[in-house]
Chain A
Amino acid sequence: MTATGATSATHEVFGGQSGGGAPRPKGGAPRPKGFFTDTTVCIGCKACEVACKEWNQLPDDGFSFTGMSYDNTVDLGASTWRHVSFIERPVPLSGQVAGQGSFSWLLMSDVCKHCQRAGCLENCPTGAIVRTEFDSVYVQPDVCNGCGYCIVGCPFGVIDRREEDGRAWKCTLCYDRLKDDMEPACAKACPTDSIQFGDLDELKVLAGGRLQTLRERGVSEAYLYGVDEASQPGTEGLNAFFLLVDRPEVYNLPPDPVAPAKRNGSGWASMAAAVVAMAAAAIGAVVAGRNGSR
């Protein structure tokens, strides 16, 4: 993809009907959509990162060298809605024959999880963050006033505020493309189908099958991260879930995240007790002052 005519070029490259997958039902409410990211087939090409930047016309983040393997993107942020992690492990993967020494690569394309209980959405005081008809979590840029409360509400460190812009930004699940019945740019561009987009219920079946295949082949470490409420009760499941082969921390994912609002009841209870005590102290102080004067 060249810089020249990027807009028209991207529309041609990614536009049109997406190939593969079940035909989409016409009419009626769309079914919940999501991503199944199978990290075992990711080759770290970063086509998803590029496709995302190009389609969404996101500005670049500067060009810097981090020394973190081949990862110079570092993390998800306001202008980075897909991020490929590069993990060099000193241990081989089960069922894998290492070419040289004891070593394995883990590669993962990270993205906004579009949680069932979304910390960002539940914290947003302006109503800028909404759940769309596709069950994705979307920030309306014309409403967001940049208060920053979604940023600390996200247990995955996905959403961020861009300094020059002042508003919070994150993956939209390519809301514009979904409205036109196209799959998100990252999934479209992924050459190995590590990123699979579709109806959530179908993706779950697909992921279960893939997990079984891997285990049969001897990759006993494989497991699904955040596939449903049972596997991640704190978020009640992720609309963008992953197949991983090592602990979540290795991929910079939290092992047991929780939507902050799920647990703020004890905070409110504690505050209620404290303010009642304060009112009692005020009454005591004033009454003692009145009595003392007589």
Chain B
Amino acid sequence: MSAEDVATSGGGHRPTEGDGRNVDPRVGILEGEAADQTAPARRSEAEGAAPFEVWRMVPSGDGDRRTDPTYYDRPAIKEPVWIWSVPAYFYVGGAAGAANVLGAVAQLVDREGMDGLVRRCRWIGAVGGGLGTAFLVIDLGRPERFLNMLRVFRPTSPLSLGSWVLAAATPAASGAAALSGAGGALRALADAAGLGAGLVGLPLSGYTAVLLSSTAVPIWQETRRTLPMLFVASAMSSAASLLELTGLNRREEEVVHRFGLAGKIAGMAAMVAVEKEASRVDRVGRPLREGVSGALWRSAKVLAGASLGLSLWPGRSRARTVARAVLGTAGAIAVRFAVMRAGKASAQDPRATFHMQRAGRGGREVTGRPATAGPPGSA
């Protein structure tokens, strides 16, 4: 029996030269648990050098390491693998959710008088949901399997719940938007879809914050009470800013202005609250003060603050409306990217994890019981 026959009869497949397994293709086949794992295409890039700075100290020579130890300062948890499209989704998804909610409320309260606002909200919900779905799909390691997201319903996973929410909100908003101009039964259908979109728009505008806090990343985990408030407030100002860039009539503009103002004030308060909650353990809050994430966080504050200032400025001017909408949009995008970068920095810092758990903010905070975390008498 040749190697080819063996490979086909056993359900395995032939190894390729240089796949890092060192299995001779003439005599061996791949049928192990990881036989299917794709090996690096360009092996030369993985050779020779560690992908991080080589440790230069003699570990035992550093006395300080006894009081605040780490394992060669290597991260204790894995860094999130998410790319730019995930915080971009947080922004468009949030804007879509808040727009769905505002649109549904406007439809319920004053369907005739605010027809333009209702339609625009539905379109933001539809485009935001569609674009957001595309952003999520391109982040997947296996994008062609994106429908597996709807394979199960798992209440413990905010990502699972969020997938269902997004899968409900986007078609509802799209249907409502497409049928906005219709009459009769179709109009009733559009209004029903608009209400449905508004209902699922509620979780859509904020679940992504719960998604982040349901992780082992210290700064996300620690801000689980304030981050949802920040994300919902940011979603409000995102939606209002986008609406302000469209040609609303005077009454609609007033409505959007009030909605956005509430979001901007809540957003500024939530940013302060997030900082405070994150910094209860000094090391955990560090990414909001330092590095790229700190710079993004500060720019988000400045942009959101400037947008809020222009919103509070008395009198009306189209130029000012556009300016505050642009600033509000930029601030909302910056805050999502700041939170993502802060999470990556937090995951890279083993002391953030260790200090937080030593401060009683690990399992003990939930269960009320401490873990065995050291030799007898040490912890």
Contact = CB atoms under 8 A, between A and B. Distances in A.
B156 A286 contact: no
Contacts of B282: none
- How large, as a class, is the contact surface on chain A? 35 or more
B55 A151 contact: no
Nearest to A232: B371
A3 interface: yes
A282 B259 contact: yes
A145 B149 contact: yes
B224 A264 contact: yes
B154 interface: yes
Of A88, A159, A232, most buried by chain B (CB within 10 Å of CB) is A232
A203 interface: no
B36 interface: yes
B320 interface: no
Of A62, A146, A285, most buried by chain B (CB within 10 Å of CB) is A285
Given A62-B43, A264-B158, A274 B228 contact: yes
A277 interface: yes
A169 interface: yes
B185 interface: no
A248 B50 CA distance: 25
A252 B46 contact: no
Nearest to A156: B77
Contacts of B233: 274, 278
- How large, as a class, is the contact surface on chain B? 35 or more
B28 A267 contact: no
Given A263-B224, A285-B258, A165 B38 contact: yes
B77 A271 contact: no
Given A57-B32, A67-B55, A255-B354, A247 B37 contact: no
B141 A64 contact: no
A69 B55 CA distance: 9
Nearest to B375: A221
A7 B363 contact: no
A112 to B, nearest CB: 12
Given A4-B27, A123-B157, A169 B37 contact: yes
Contacts of A166: 38, 140-142
A58 B369 CA distance: 39
B365 interface: yes
Interface stretch (B247-255, B287-295, B308-316): B247-255
A270 interface: yes
Contacts of A221: 375-376, 378
A1 to B, nearest CB: 10
Interface stretch (B171-179, B187-195, B199-207): B199-207
Contacts of A125: 149, 152, 154, 157, 159-160, 163
Contact of B110 (A58, A145, A289): A289
Given A60-B21, A255-B357, A246 B148 contact: no
Contacts of A231: 371-372
A6 B22 contact: yes
Nearest to B57: A67
B226 interface: yes
B363 A235 contact: yes
B153 to A, nearest CB: 9
Contacts of A252: 70-71, 74, 76, 350
Interface string A228-243: 0011111100000000
A149 B27 contact: no
Given A126-B149, A248-B373, A293-B113, A281 B259 contact: yes
Contacts of A246: 69, 374-375
A145 B74 contact: no
Interface in A89-113: 89-91, 103
A63 B254 CA distance: 64
Interface stretch (B123-131, B212-220, B297-305, B327-335): B212-220
24 contacts: A3-B24, A56-B33, A60-B20, A61-B20, A62-B20, A68-B59, A72-B50, A85-B71, A87-B59, A144-B142, A145-B148, A233-B364, A251-B71, A258-B366, A267-B213, A270-B225, A270-B227, A274-B229, A274-B233, A278-B235, A281-B259, A288-B255, A289-B251, A289-B255
Interface of A: 3-8, 55-69, 71-72, 74-75, 77-79, 85, 87-91, 103, 119, 122-128, 141, 143-149, 151-169, 172, 174-176, 220-225, 230-235, 245-258, 260-264, 266-268, 270-271, 273-275, 277-279, 281-290, 292-293
Interface of B: 15, 19-24, 27-41, 43, 46-51, 54-56, 58-61, 63, 66, 69-72, 74-78, 80-82, 98, 101-102, 105-106, 109-110, 113-114, 139-143, 145-146, 148-149, 151-152, 154, 156-160, 163, 202-203, 205-207, 209-211, 213-217, 220-221, 224-229, 231-233, 235-236, 251-252, 254-256, 258-259, 262-263, 266, 343, 347, 350, 353-354, 357-358, 360, 362-367, 369-376, 378-379
Given A125-B163, A290-B110, 15 more contacts: A59-B19, A59-B40, A68-B55, A68-B72, A123-B215, A141-B37, A144-B148, A246-B69, A249-B350, A254-B354, A256-B358, A271-B206, A278-B205, A286-B105, A289-B251
